[in-house]
Chain A
Amino acid sequence: GAVVSQHPSRVICKSGTSVKIECRSLDFQATTMFWYRQFPKQSLMLMATSNEGSKATYEQGVEKDKFLINHASLTLSTLTVTSAHPEDSSFYICSGWGASSGYTFGSGTRLTVV
């Protein structure tokens, strides 16, 4: 079946630094990539939607200059958290959509900013 490989699974970074999260669709082409985040004890909320080769569309309240999303190819999308702060600590998860595969979630990234 379709697989989205998400890395890293866990990352701890210092406040003020940047962190990049990668999602790779291994056996399908992800035309659209959805990025969600989940704060402790809460549900998953959409951050942004990206289509290959286009700029991402961000949800209200999500800073596009802070959360940089790149979807340069049909098999790779990245989320970079720039100048991370402790309040950005969260669980980030991507979901790739392909016409033949439907929706496939990555395994998530636990970000801790200290």
Chain B
Amino acid sequence: AQSVTQLGSHVSVSEGALVLLRCNYSSSVPPYLFWYVQYPNQGLQLLLKYTTGATLVKGINGFEAEFKKSETSFHLTKPSAHMSDAAEYFCAVTLPSNTGNQFYFGTGTSLTVIP
């Protein structure tokens, strides 16, 4: 079975500081990994995803994540936080499939950006 652990349910950073949101996964086979952002009372917006190939993945809004198989991690980073980055972030894992597979989501990390 697959699972995701997001360390730190709440993270606070100052505006302009580095953002680091941690995600570790468990999977019996090489997984697909995703980061989503959710603003209050809204749906999920895809930030980035890793399927195959380059392990450093760049996404929208300046975010990036690196797939580290040896550490079973997929941490999300952004060099300089902006006030608009304040939101809930979810890491998710799924397995490659020809018919689609369910996502397993982490419990989420709430990011606060301090002006």
Measuring CB to CB, which residues of chain A are less than 8 angstroms from any residue of chain B?
6, 31-32, 34, 36, 42-46, 49, 51, 93, 95, 97, 99, 103, 105-108, 110
Contacts and interface: CB of A to CB of B under 8 A. Distances in A.
Interface residues of B, number: 18
9 contacts: A31-B100, A46-B102, A46-B103, A97-B100, A105-B44, A106-B43, A107-B42, A108-B42, A108-B44
Contacts of B94: 103
A103 B95 CA distance: 12
Interface of B: 34, 36, 41-44, 46, 90, 94, 98-100, 102-103, 105-108
A6 B102 CA distance: 19
| Chain B interface main SS type | loop
Contact of B107 (A43, A95, A99): A43
B100 A103 contact: yes
A51 B101 CA distance: 11
B103 A34 contact: yes
A106 B36 CA distance: 13
Given A43-B90, A44-B90, A99-B98, A6 B43 contact: yes
A99 B100 CA distance: 8
A31 B103 contact: no
Given A43-B107, A43-B108, A105 B102 contact: no
A95 B103 contact: yes
A108 B88 CA distance: 15
B44 A32 contact: no
A42, A44, A99: which has the most chain B beta carbons within 10 Å? Answer: A44
Nearest to B6: A43
Contact of B103 (A6, A44, A51, A110): A44
A49 B100 CA distance: 10
Nearest to B92: A44
Contacts of B100: 31-32, 34, 97, 103
